[in-house]
Amino acid sequence: MGRARPLVLPGTIALSAGVWVPAMLDEHSAIGLVITAHVIVSAGISCGLTPLMTSALGALPPEWYSHGNATVSTVQQVAGAAGTALFITMMTRGTESAESRGRVGPVRAGLVVECVSRHVRGPSAGIDERAARSSSASSSAVAS
């Protein structure tokens, strides 16, 4: 941990600050603030977690490097999938609750999440889905 220490503390502070900023946002917050918070979180993760992972995997004997790397990669993938599922579930529940009370702020946040997920899936994903809906709608209109 000796070599990792100089980057871990500033990275952890940046990560904490970057996660704290979105907690203070509301529906009137500027998009620039959201982007800035994301950049701070990303910098904090890279400064904090990368040296820790290097230090942890470097503590293994050479014959265990591949096993340690595979274990870390598997845990990261499973945790990422579980975190994404939890996030989507919480956003869905929050949006449904807000809609039932007539509030639209969380609904708009849900639309932002949808736009980001479409961007991550790639621009062609949305086009293919729209084309499929369009062709099924036109075929049902012809059948009528």
Domain ranges for the chain:
1-59, 65-144
How far is residue 125's CA from residue 9's CA, in Å, rounded to a whole number?
Answer: 40
Amino acid at site 48: G
Helix (H) or strand (E) holding 140: helix 123-143
Q: What is the mean pLDDT of the chain?
A: 77
How far is residue 93's CA from residue 72's CA, in Å, rounded to a whole number?
Answer: 31
Q: What angle do CA 67, 47, 77 make, to 5 degrees?
A: 40
Residues of the chain with pLDDT under 50: 125-127, 141-142, 144
Q: What is the DSSP letter of 28?
A: T
CA distances from 89 to 12, 67, 102, 119, 129 (A): 27, 33, 20, 20, 22
**Residue 125's pLDDT is what?**
47
Q: What is the DSSP letter of 101?
A: T
- Cβ atoms of 43 and 2 within 8 Å: the answer is no
Return the axis-axis angle of helices 123-143 and 105-121, rounded to nearest 10°. Answer: 100
**Residue 41's pLDDT is what?**
92
Q: Rounded to 5 degrees, what are φ and ψ at 28? A: -100, 5
| Cβ-proximal residues to 4 (8 Å cutoff; 6+ apart), any chain | 51, 52, 54, 55
